[in-house]
Structure 1
Amino acid sequence: MCGRFAITLPTDAMAQLFDAAPANALPEVPNYNVCPTTQIHVITGREGERRRLGAMRWGFLPSWYKSPTDGPLLINARAETIAEKPAFRAACRERRCLIPCSGFYEWTKDESGARLPWYIQRADGAPLVFAAIWQDWGQGEDRAPTCAMVTTGANDAMGRIHHRMPVILEEADWGLWLGEEGKGAARLMRAAGEEVLRFHRVDPKVNSNRASGAGLIAPIPA
């Protein structure tokens, strides 16, 4: 799964990378501690000539939720069951999106049970791009988009830290996932190759969702 991540790419660089028109109100960058229920950067399919770079709540809200706390917090959707779950199946068919980030955090535990955070990023230094789905929630002026990342079983390297990982998309697959290139997006919901990612230990201060700053992703001895 993925429960926290960092985004350091400037907004104009994101817009250029995805050939997307940016919305007026977007989350501030850099942010080294992006947490669930906050607004995050999301790319949706082409509207005319360009895709759209907008903001969505990280935490998918099904249409039947009467409030954001009316059920479980749905920040991830499992690739294995996404097409069957009532909360996700329509979005999986009709409302797929991309979530960019610079890296994400996962945790292991030491012998005493203390949580040890790791920072995971692309080995080539490029931004990570996660497969995701979205859903408008609410009524009238209060209607707002919400989203969840798609996850799958971890590859062997990532499995040493966590048994799940986000579905990571290569640039050649962005259009297919967004529905711009017909059907077949289901085949993209698989683990990335072991060579795609690298990871290092970081300071436990990131265990707090109030922590901030570039020091959160700085390596420390494992």
Structure 2
Amino acid sequence: MCGRFAITLPNDAMARLFQAVPANDLPDVPNYNVCPTTQIHAVSRDADGQRRLGAMRWGFVPHWYKSPTDGPLLINARAESIAGKPAFRAAARERRCLIPASGFYEWSKDEQGNRYPWYFSRTDGAPMVFAGVWQVWDRGEAPLTTCAIVTCDANKVAGKVHHRMPVILEEADWGKWLGEEGRGAALLMKPAGEDVLRGHRVSRAVNSNRAHGPELIEEIED
């Protein structure tokens, strides 16, 4: 799964990277501890085919929920079942998005049940881009745009810590995931190559959703 991540790229740099029109209410950056239910950056296509960089609530809300907390918190969508799940199947066909990050956190567990956080980033130092799906929930006082990160089996690097990881898209595949280049998006929902990721242990300070500083991604000794 993916339950926390970091984003350090400035908003204007993100807009240029994705060739997207930025919204006026983008979340503050940098944020080294992005948590579920907060507003995150996401790139989607509007009705005219223009890419838009906007803010979405991390935590997908299906249209039948009576409130955002009416059911399970859906921060991840499993690649293996996304096309058949009632919550996600329409979004998987019609409402896919790109979710930029600098890296993500995962936790290992020892024999005593103690959990230790790890931080994974790209080996080439480039921004990381997750595959996402989005949904507008409109049963409240105001429409709420929500999203989930698509996950898949972990590759060998991430698999040393956890059996799942986010689907990481390469730049050449961004257009296909957004539906700009015809069909084939389903083929992108696979683990990143073994040479794409690197990971290291970090402080347990990241366990607190109140911690947001750059020290959270610094490597510590095992």
TM-score (norm 1): 0.97
Deviation at 1:47, TM superposition (A): 5.6
Contact 1:7 1:31 in 2 (8 A): yes
Which letter does structure 1 place at the counterpart of 2:190? R
Question: What's the offset of the Cα at 1:48?
Answer: 4.5
Contact 1:5–1:35 (CA under 8 A) maintained in structure 2: yes
Unmatched runs of 5 consecutive residues or more in structure 1: none
1:212 shift after superposition: 1.8
What's 1:7 paired with? 7
Q: Is the 8 A contact 1:46 1:180 kept in 2?
A: no
- Which aligned pairs between 1:192-211 and structure 2 lie closer than 5 A? 192-211=192-211
Deviations 1:136-165 (A, max 9, x none): 002475112100000000112211110001
Q: Does structure 2 retain, via aligned residues, the 8 Å contact 1:42–1:56?
A: yes
Alignment correspondent of 2:169: 169
Which whole-Å deviations, capped at 9, do the CAs of 1:97-128 have from their partners, x for residues lacking one?
Answer: 00000011000023332210000000000000
Q: 1:46 to 1:69 in 2, by over 3 A?
A: closer
Residue of structure 1 equivalent to 2:66: 66
Query: Is 2:32 aligned against 1:32?
Result: yes
Which letter maps to 1:199?
Answer: G
State the secondary structure of the residue aligned to 2:104: strand
Name the TM-score, length of structure 2 as normaliser: 0.97
* Distance in 1 (alpha carbons) for counterparts of 2:102 and 2:141: 32
Deviation at 1:24, TM superposition (A): 0.7
3-state SS of paired residue (1:53): strand
Calculate percent identity across the aligned residue pairs: 72
Bigger Cα displacement from structure 2, 136-145 vs 184-193: 136-145
Aligned residues: 222
> Which whole-Å CA distance do the structure 2 matches of 1:141 and 1:114 have between them?
42
Structure 2 CA distance for aligned equivalents of residues 200 and 18 of structure 1: 28
